[in-house]
Every structure is written in C-alpha cells, then in structure tokens.
Amino acid sequence: MPSLKEKLLEMRDRRSALLATNFYNAETLRGVLEAASDLGQPIILQMTRSSIDYLGLPVALAMGRAGLRHHGVEGWIHLDHALGLDLVADCIDAGFDSVMIDASEQDLDRNIEATRRAVALARATGANVEAELGFVAKLGQEADPAGLTDPVQAARFVEATGVDALAVSIGTAHGFYKAEPRLDLERLEAIRRLTSVPLVLHGGSGVGEASIRAVVARGICKVNVATETKDAFVRGIKRELLASSGIDIRAIFPPAIRDVKELIAQKLRMLMTEGGHA
C-alpha cells in the first residue's frame, strides 16, 4: 500500500481527492468503513486530541488499524488539528501515517517555525505532515474574509517549511453553515499555481457536490468531513431512543451506524471519477 504522501501526490496528479473523516467511537468507525468497503474507496481516518483523549491513543490507533483490515479498506490514520508539538510527537511515535500541526492562528513566522519542527519530527518515520495557512473558522468562531489564504504567502510557507500538504482557507468553516459557502475558486487556482504540494479543504461538511467537484478540479486533494458525521450518528441515536423502550444498545446503535454509512457513501460518491475511484 502506498504511503499517504504518495497517495496524495497521486491524487494531485490525477486531479482527484481522498475523503478524510473523523471517527469518535467504534460505531462511527464502523459506519465510515462499511461505506468505504461497499464502494471500494480509500479513506483517511482522522482523530482530534479530544477523540484521542476520549478513547486513549493506543486504543484509538488500534481501532482504526483493525477496522481497516477487517473491512478490507485502503486507508490511513491521521491526527487532525494538533495545536501543539507534544501531541504531534506522540502520534508520530505511536505510528500514525499523518499528522496535522495547526498553528494557523499564530503569526506567519510562528506558524512556519511550528510546522518546520513538525516536519523534522516526522522525518524518522516518513509520516505525512499537514499544516494550515489562513483562517478557517472553528466552531464558535466567526468567519473572516480577511483570513483567506494569500497565494504568495502560501508559496513562501511551503518553501520554508517543507510541509507535505497544505490546508487552505477559501471560504469554508468548521461546523454547520446557515447557507452553502461561496468558495473563492480563483484564489484556489492561484495557490495551486504557486505551490506544488497537495492542498486540503477543511470544513467540507455542508459543501455541495458541485462545489466539491470544482475545488478538486482546482487542486484540492483531501476533503475533510467531521461535523456531519457526528450529527448523523447523534440524530440516529436520538431517533432510536425515542422509538424504543429497550436498553439493548446493540439494537439501538445499528440504525445510527447505517445513517453514518449512508452519509459517508454520499461523500465518497462526490469524489469518485467516471472510472469509479477517488
């Protein structure tokens, strides 16, 4: 199986993209992997610090690896939005395929320095390193048009850090949208022209198929989805709890797992080419 670095470069050259979705427990993991298995699609499994703290690092990693093997899915384990290098180092040492250092809310020089250090940490294992440049609003934050990624800065950032993949701000945000965001496709094209690394779209939840296909055609190689995955599972659990007086979670969870599976299948189909593959 290729490394994630190699796979993302393949996606870049093919003008295609991988879906990256967070998982939070055994049930969301199962829903994600059943969708990928049924469609024969590769996938990136992501975890944030919150999920790692909830599950425990060795358990979370083992769950992801075992799930990929069990379902026969080509996939990689990625650390999502690490704010500090301590967690980056822990995940690299544990055997993650990829890590993201997110110093995007610091000034440019500090972002460069943190990313450069993450790249140095990853050299021992060859793990893929992702960073973010620009402001992609997180939950509870207001979107800021002034925080969109500057293409010239992006070129400088990639050159200075040696980063393997770059998450860019072109109008998306983490969480739910009141209306589908208007993406700055010209900005994305400029970033692609000035950089050579695979580009990443954060805030993929709620972005329609036409917009997803448009950004992939312009250089996005990895599309992140998290909010919708959580939402699908929680809505399913609430529905089943209201409809049942039983206490057997093995009867309550499967419909919610199917909801996650259907969502992820929909997202994967957005990224499938005419040949049937991402």
Helix axes 26-39, 249-271, angle to 10 degrees: 40
CA angle (163 as vertex; 139, 203 as ends), nearest 5: 20
C-alpha distance from residue 99 to each of 48, 83, 268 (Å): 10, 11, 22
Span 172-209, pLDDT tens digits = 765 555 556 788 999 999 999 999 999 999 988 878 89
pLDDT at residue number 172: 74
pLDDT at residue number 137: 61
pLDDT at residue number 143: 54
> 102 a known binding residue?
yes
Residues carrying an active site annotation: 80
pLDDT at residue number 138: 56
> 174 a known binding residue?
yes
pLDDT at residue number 192: 97
pLDDT at residue number 205: 80
Using CA atoms, how far apart are residues 105 and 28, in angstroms rounded to an integer?
30
Given a cut of 70, the residues of the chain with pLDDT beneath it are 137-146, 173-180, 274-276
pLDDT at residue number 74: 98
pLDDT at residue number 247: 84
C-alpha distance from residue 12 to each of 9, 18, 155, 196 (Å): 5, 10, 17, 9
> 59 a known binding residue?
no
> 132 a known binding residue?
yes
> 64 a known binding residue?
no
Tokens matching residue 48: 């944030």
For β-strands 220-225 and 128-133, DSSP reports them as: unpaired
Using CA atoms, how far apart are residues 120 and 118, in angstroms rounded to an integer?
5
